Amino acid sequence: MVYNEVEAASRGDLRSLQSDRLRETVAHAYENVPFYREAMDELGVGPEDVESVDDVSKLPFTTKEDFRDEYPDGLFAVDWDAVVRIHASSGTTGKPKVVAYTAEDLGVWREVMARSLYAAGVREDHVVQNAYGYGLFTGGLGFHDGVEELGACVVPTGGGNTGRQIELMRDLGSDVLACTPSYSLYLAEAAAERGVDARDLPLSTVVIGAEPFTDAMREEIEAALGVTAIDVYGLSELIGPGVSIECEEAQDGLHVWEDHFYPEVVDPDTGEPLPPSEEGELVLTSLTKRALPVLRYRTGDVTSLNYDRCDCGRTCVRMDNVTGRADDLLIVRGVNVYPSQIEEVMLDFEGVAPHYRIDLTREDALDRMKITVEHYEEFDGVAEELRDRIESRLREVLDVTPDELVVAGPGTIERTEVGKVKRVFDHR
């Protein structure tokens, strides 16, 4: 059962719709956004050269730096009097990426979010507690509007105030929690500190996103809360949450709503398109955005695409769970390391909690890597022995041995109650 029949459309019908919408989007961007007109002219490409989605690779890429360079409204394709909402990134690494929405854009966003929630198993009679942050961050309002569009009940708690969250969850009978992976684990810990077993709460589903996580982390979340954890994906540059989501039936990749977002996977180094099932950097093109059309946005997220029909009956492509970003890559003494590799190793060990911290420093021109992990409170082994076993396994997986590995007690590593968790601290 699907929310919108386009989710199960034939590949041919979907491709025809995508081609129509891509032509309209390219013409709209070329005519109304000087940045795109100049970039296309430089490549010798005009709107007339884009006849179908087969021609998408002729178009220029868009990057996060382009958003910052064109701050605040250089990428807008409509006048300000047509803009009804603004969102933005945090801007922690420079100018924030400002995005705009027309009333039509907000309608699309509500529909794809309702579609996403339905795929996750949310229904009209459910109570959804929304612990994503409200404000300029797209998570809170994106989920809020989607729940209302679906016809379910939303409890707009936002992030933080965890004691109140637990109380409301229990008193209101919340069926679904929407939050980041790290916050769902924090909530389970906070419940235990208050004498509440999180598995006794009425939750059946947690919709997690905004942070990369491994399958091992998902298993920790499901065990800690006694729920099914569904992965949702989105980014403000395209629309916000609602670009893709797992279905509850299969949980085997995230369905991309291809009638609104055209996905590609490219080689992160060369930008050349890669074939289905090959891992690379996800590139997305908006097909229906009016205020801020986006051509070939390099997300930095590492994934692959699977065009096989899903067991749930949906025909739209599935992207693999994003466990890291191309720019998350750490280079330590010339060796490539992804934080997700470290997470997978740690969570293979019984007694190790799903919290870790990586500190990178440089001493006498040499890189040093310190990894801190926690053991569970009920761990009754010897911390030094556990450390030795983790070190041995990391040596096998990483090709570079951490200079220091600390197995700390419960609660040592700082938790994130509001916003995205930070695990890597590069002091170099």
Q: What is the pLDDT of residues 143-159, one digit of tens each?
A: 999 999 999 999 999 98
Q: What is the pLDDT of residues 190-207, one digit of tens each?
A: 999 999 999 999 999 999
Give 176's contacts (C-beta < 8 A, 6+ positions apart).
120, 122, 126, 127, 128, 129, 152, 203, 204, 205, 206, 207
CATH of the domain at 404: 3.30.300.30
Final residue of a structural domain among 272, 294, 327: 327
Q: What is the pLDDT of residues 166-191, one digit of tens each?
A: 999 999 999 999 999 989 999 999 99
Residues 363 and 379 in one domain: yes
Q: What is the pLDDT of residues 32-64, one digit of tens each?
A: 999 999 999 999 999 999 999 999 999 999 999
Residues 336 and 377 in one domain: yes
Is it the case that residue 254 has pLDDT exceeding 80?
A: yes
The beta strands (E) that lie in 126-235 are given as 127-130, 153-155, 176-179, 205-208, 228-235
Q: State pTM to two decimals.
A: 0.83
Q: What is the pLDDT of residues 10-30, one digit of tens each?
A: 999 999 999 999 999 999 999
Q: CB-based burial of residue 68 (10 Å sphere; 0-12 exposed, 13-18 middle, 19+ buried)?
A: middle
Other beta carbons within 10 Å of 124? 9
Residues 139 and 36 in one domain: yes
Residues 378 and 297 in one domain: no
What is the rounded distance in angstroms from the CA atom of residue 86 to the CA atom of residue 65?
19
Taking residues 308-319, what's their average pLDDT? 96
Q: What pLDDT score does 365 carry?
A: 67
Q: What pLDDT score does 132 carry?
A: 94
263 and 305 Cβ atoms separated by less than 8 Å: yes
Residues 95 and 218 in one domain: yes
Is it the case that residue 290 has pLDDT exceeding 60?
A: yes
Concatenated DSSP letters for 85-110? Answer: EEEE---TTSS--EEEE-HHHHHHHH
Q: pLDDT-derived band of residue 339, with 50, 70 and 90 as boundaries?
A: confident
Q: What pLDDT score does 219 carry?
A: 94
Residues 5 and 103 in one domain: yes
138, HSE (Cβ side, Cα atoms, 13 Å): 28
Final residue of a structural domain among 327, 356, 388: 327
Q: CB-based burial of residue 193 (10 Å sphere; 0-12 exposed, 13-18 middle, 19+ buried)?
A: exposed
Residues 279 and 345 in one domain: no
pLDDT mean across residues, the chain = 93
Sheet (strand 424-426) strand order? 404-408, 366-375, 352-363, 424-426
Q: pLDDT-derived band of residue 348, with 50, 70 and 90 as boundaries?
A: confident
At 100, list the tokens.
């705009």
Q: What pLDDT score does 9 carry?
A: 97
Helix crossing, 215-225 with 339-346: angle to 10°? 50
Is it the case that residue 326 has pLDDT exceeding 80?
A: no
Q: What pLDDT score does 90 carry?
A: 66
Across 74-83, 118-127, 134-143, 384-393, least confident range: 384-393
Q: The domain containing residue 413 runs over which residues?
A: 329-426
Residues 235 and 351 in one domain: no
Q: What pLDDT score does 7 carry?
A: 98
Q: Which whole-number Å values give the CA distances from 68 to 95, 182, 210, 323, in the listed order?
A: 6, 28, 20, 25
The beta strands (E) that lie in 200-253 are given as 205-208, 228-235, 240-246
Looking at the DSSP bridge assignments, the partners of residue 404 are 370
Final residue of a structural domain among 284, 304, 327: 327
Counted domains in the chain: 2
At 249, list the tokens.
């039936």
Residues 239 and 296 in one domain: yes
Q: pLDDT-derived band of residue 328, with 50, 70 and 90 as boundaries?
A: low
Return the closest-CA partner of residue 212 out of 185, 232, 184: 232
Amino acid at 222: E
Show the CA angle centred on residue 251, arms to residues 186 and 260, nearest 5°: 100
Residues 334 and 322 in one domain: no
Residues 333 and 208 in one domain: no
CATH of the domain at 295: 3.40.50.12780
Sign of CA dihedral 23, 24, 26, 30: positive
Residues 277 and 367 in one domain: no
